[in-house]
Amino acid sequence: MTRRAVARTLVYLSLVLAAAVVLLPLGVVLLTSLKSEGEMADGSGALTLPGDLFNLHNYVTAFQDGGMLAAFGHTAFILVFAIGGTVLIGSMTAYAIDRFTFRLKRLVVALFLIAALVPGVTTQVATFQIVNSFGMFDSLWAPIVLYMGTDIVSIYIFLQFVRSIPVSLDESARLDGANAFTIYRKIIFPLLRPAIATVVIVKGITVYNDFYIPFLYMPSEDLGVISTSLFRFRGPYGAHWETISAGAILVILPTLVVFLSLQRFIYNGFTRGATR
């Protein structure tokens, strides 16, 4: 009994410790974002409470001077097109691969599979030249096409789902005279709803958080997405940690809201996405 009790205590102790390790850095940044410039300068250390817990001054500065409104706008624009494109492309690919037999099918499948092994970071040197030659460099379209490009994870998720839709449905529709496009549009696509939800969530979080692609392809000051706009805080606000903290919290907040409201789907999405 006592040994069990000790073991249980240790388990809880480790959990509390881990939670503290996760929450402490975030909590301190939240506190810092509420402090005034004077409080930052008085050398009272990072762990002290701000004098006024509702001092939102830094948030106003970060939001206005950091161009966060435009940044959220750009991110939303990219999200809509990139996710829409990913859903269409992923579901079409999955439908074609699962429901048809055609020559070169094995080759096509292999092309998608091998592409899954190539990490995007390694090919940007040359991808850059291609994007540039299309005249998409420094425009919102560069990240959009790159995100749509080859999202193998979403193709895989769709494939799993298409496979679980009975072929007899296609056949009976075909007997009624529906062609492949009607079947895709009226039967397959609506039945893919759970998979679409998964892809929208997983892809949405990835795109919202991505830094690399917008940083590389949209260097213009007025084309910031939230990651790159936040990154630019480093220059002008250099040592103003209260403003930088407010910016970071502004960026984290939407993620937290989405996470808390969609928890279960998010866990499932990542489990399904990564364990190919």
Partner 1 sequence: MTDTTEKAASGAGVGAAPAVPAPAPAPRPARLWRGVTPWLFLIAPLALLVTFTYAPIVNMVAYSFTDWDGVSPELHYTGVENYTELFTRDDLFRVFFVSGYYLAASVVQIVAALYFATILSFQVRFRNFFKGVLFFPYLINGVAIGFVFLYFFQDGGTLDSVLSLFGHHSDHAWLGTPVSANVSLAGVSVWRYMGLNFVLFLGAIQSIPGELYEAAELDGANRWRQFRHIIAPGIKPVLTLTVILSVSGSLSAFEIPYIMTGGATGTETFVIQTLNLAFRFNKTGLASAAAIVLLLIILLVTWLQRRLVPDDKVDLV
Hey, which residues between 32 and 61 contact partner 1 (CB under 8 A)?
Answer: 32, 43, 45-47
Using the contact rule CB under 8 A, the part of the chain among 51-59, 60-68, 76-84, 107-115 near partner 1 is 107-115
89, 138, 240, 265: which one binds partner 1 (CB under 8 A): 89
Hey, which residues between 161 and 190 contact partner 1 (CB under 8 A)?
Answer: 161, 164-166, 169, 172-173, 175-178, 180, 182-184, 186-187, 190
Work out whether 196 is an interface residue with partner 1 (CB under 8 A).
no
Using the contact rule CB under 8 A, the part of the chain among 51-59, 66-74, 76-84, 240-248 near partner 1 is 240-248
Work out whether 259 is an interface residue with partner 1 (CB under 8 A).
yes
Identity of the residue, 183 or 218, whose beta carbon is nearer to partner 1 in the bound complex: 183
Hey, which residues between 205 and 224 contact partner 1 (CB under 8 A)?
Answer: 205, 208-209, 211-212, 216
Question: How many residues lie near partner 1 (CB under 8 A)?
Answer: 111
Hey, which residues between 68 and 87 contact partner 1 (CB under 8 A)?
Answer: none
Work out whether 233 is an interface residue with partner 1 (CB under 8 A).
yes
How far apart are alpha carbons 138 and 214 in whole angstroms? 9
55, 63, 96, 141: which one binds partner 1 (CB under 8 A): 96
Work out whether 23 is an interface residue with partner 1 (CB under 8 A).
yes
How far apart are alpha carbons 40 and 58 in whole angstroms? 12
Identity of the residue, 2 or 275, whose beta carbon is nearer to partner 1 in the bound complex: 275
Work out whether 129 is an interface residue with partner 1 (CB under 8 A).
yes
25, 84, 135, 238: which one binds partner 1 (CB under 8 A): 25
CB-CB contact of 166 with 175 (8 Å): no
Work out whether 26 is an interface residue with partner 1 (CB under 8 A).
yes
How far apart are alpha carbons 237 and 63 in whole angstroms? 13
